[in-house]
A and B are shown apart, each in its own frame.
Chain A
Amino acid sequence: MRTETIDALTAYARGAPDVMLLTADLGYSVLERFAEALPKQYVNVGVCEQAMVGIAAGLALTGHRVVLYSIVNFPTLRCLEQLRNDVCYHDLPVMVIAVGGGLAYGPQGYTHHGVEDLGIMAMLPNMAVACPADPLEAEALLPQLLDRRRPAYLRLARSGEPVLHPAGTKVTLERAITLRSGTDIALLATGPILGRALAAAQTLAARGISASVLSFPGFRPLDQQAVLDAARGHRAILTLEEHMVTGGFGSRVAEVLLAAGLAPRFGKYGVTDALRGQIGSQAWLLDRLGPVEDHAMALL
């Protein structure tokens, strides 16, 4: 989904000379298409994420919209305070595009596992947080986030993610998308782990269990109405995220439910401490969590 996103960014920036792309020397073989098309709107600042965010804030204070690109933890955790103070407190049009979200770079080791980013970014003032599930969501979210002219975080996986939505699906930051409607359990997913939710729904159907599957492109704002409707329409809710289950998507969903006085049977499928230090492909690491359908069955 990173190539589709950079293509969408290039197309957008062609008609918006105020949009600049900064990288901290990452994105080889991905960013060249932007740099060659729009060389005056592209700067490789070198390996310095803290300065990169500050430079972005300075550009944004001077009439630019700035997009930052790097691997998940580097443009978020490394420069968290620059994002908090310089970008978010000042409510500036700076968007961070992170690649390698979740366990996409699983074999690369713990430094490259991005499993706290969503929760932390969503705590920052004025920050929108988007977690697309497939290239179609990513392409659709990019211009929406740029149009918003405020701080934004766009979390991507890497390349080769399958398209999960039918062509023509309307994608917005604010609304969850229902891919499958059922009656027993609702599988609420954010990000490419949506694919596992869809596969689990098939397996559950074969066992006589009717599951809904919803995708949440927006981590913040979260579509609260979709959460409440899911709770009212099903006996159980299972959230799915490629992120620590503490302080992530499941926690946000639980907050919405509690505040509304709803208490469906509830489970969270996502990264736990058990995965820390393990290396392996994204699929292999997620398999360590056990089959999604088993987590679902345990709630029914």
Chain B
Amino acid sequence: MTLAERGLNMTDTRALARRLRGHALRMTHLSRASHIGSCLSMADIMAVLYGAVLRLNPARPAWPDRDRVIISKGHAAAIVYATLAECGFLPIGELDQYSADGGRLSGHVTMTVPGVELSTGSLGHGLPVACGMALAAQRASAVWRSFCVLSDGELDEGSNWEAIQFAQRARLDTLFAIVDYNKIQSFGTVAAVSDLHPLADKFRAFNWGVTEIDGHDHPALLTALSSGPIIPGRPTAIVAHTVKGKGVSFMENQLLWHYRNPDAAQLATALAELEAGA
């Protein structure tokens, strides 16, 4: 069942997003880990997806009819574990063990954590696997859907374009690729490093249905994520325009926060900002 069916509503996905951001900030602070900016840009996507869209059963992670989600940007592990903990797949208290010695919450997403479908961390792996899942659903005429969350930087990887080509030819219309288009990648802006623009047109040229939305707009996310394929019989790309570091003023649009972790004072400031934005 969706979390919405468990009593959440759209106001709650905003509250959920705030909690996810708070968890990710605390986790990166405690572990001194990188990638908080990448986590914050996709917090709203995760909150709406897990809070209001996906059909999952945290008590039965392997439920065969569940929707599948692959987080291909595996470096955003903190927000993924935070989301799964909020959904009930693992104890919230375990989040303190992020990247800790002997723990199971590795700095890149791993399938040893309940609710994770695929270990990721090397970019460009997720979408082909999501294609395989969507192909399996098609073969079984199943109703569950396959979602893959990608970063903009990882679209440099050729394996994604192999999958994008395959998905349209195979008519994988239960496949949804969500691009967290935060315009920053490892060495600078996406425009400067790889010049991905025009991204939506690239998907269109590959015969995908495409929608472009504000990736922090919950009603827009809900509509895009809960609708069927934009073009019948074709896969769908949701290009979500986002802000790296979204929700913490001094982290927004700053490459530095792809790497840096907040110290105690910065954490307090960040959490206060999240609270004030509530």
B201 within 8 A of A: no
B169 within 8 A of A: yes
A226 within 8 A of B: no
B137 within 8 A of A: yes
CB within 8 Å of A: which B119-145 residues: 119-122, 124-137, 139
* Chain B residues with CB under 8 A of A50: 124, 128, 158-159, 162
Q: Which of A40, A58, A81, A85 contacts B119 (CB 8 A)?
A: A85
- Asked whether A86 lies within 8 Å of B125 as measured between CB atoms, the reply is yes
How many interface residues does A have (CB within 8 Å)?
Answer: 26
Majority secondary structure of chain B interface residues (helix, strand, loop or mixed): helix
- Asked whether B159 lies within 8 Å of A64 as measured between CB atoms, the reply is no
CB within 8 Å of B: which A23-67 residues: 40, 43, 45-46, 48, 50-64
- In Å, the complex CA distance between A58 and B144 comes to 14
* Chain A residues with CB under 8 A of B146: 58
CB within 8 Å of B: which A200-254 residues: none
- In Å, the complex CA distance between A85 and B125 comes to 9
A196 within 8 A of B: no
CB within 8 Å of A: which B85-127 residues: 111, 117-122, 124-127
- In Å, the complex CA distance between A54 and B121 comes to 14
Contacts A58-B133, A61-B117; is A51 near B122 (CB within 8 Å)? no
A90 within 8 A of B: yes
* Chain B residues with CB under 8 A of A59: 132-133, 135-136
A-B contact count (CB 8 A): 94
Q: Which of B122, B131, B136 contacts A85 (CB 8 A)?
A: B122
- In Å, the complex CA distance between A60 and B169 comes to 20
B270 within 8 A of A: no
Q: Which of A48, A57, A63 contacts B166 (CB 8 A)?
A: A48
- Asked whether B111 lies within 8 Å of A55 as measured between CB atoms, the reply is no
Which residue on B lies nearest to A17, using beta carbons?
Answer: B139
B207 within 8 A of A: no
By a beta-carbon cutoff of 8 Å, the part of chain A in contact with chain B is 40, 43, 45-46, 48, 50-64, 81-82, 85-86, 89-90
Some 12 contacts from A to B, beta carbons below 8 A apart, are A48-B165, A50-B159, A50-B162, A57-B118, A57-B129, A58-B131, A58-B132, A61-B132, A62-B137, A86-B125, A89-B111, A90-B119
By a beta-carbon cutoff of 8 Å, the part of chain B in contact with chain A is 64, 68, 111, 117-122, 124-137, 139, 146, 158-159, 162-163, 165-166, 169-170
The 8 closest A-B pairs by CB, nearest first: A58-B132, A54-B128, A51-B162, A62-B136, A48-B162, A55-B132, A50-B159, A58-B129
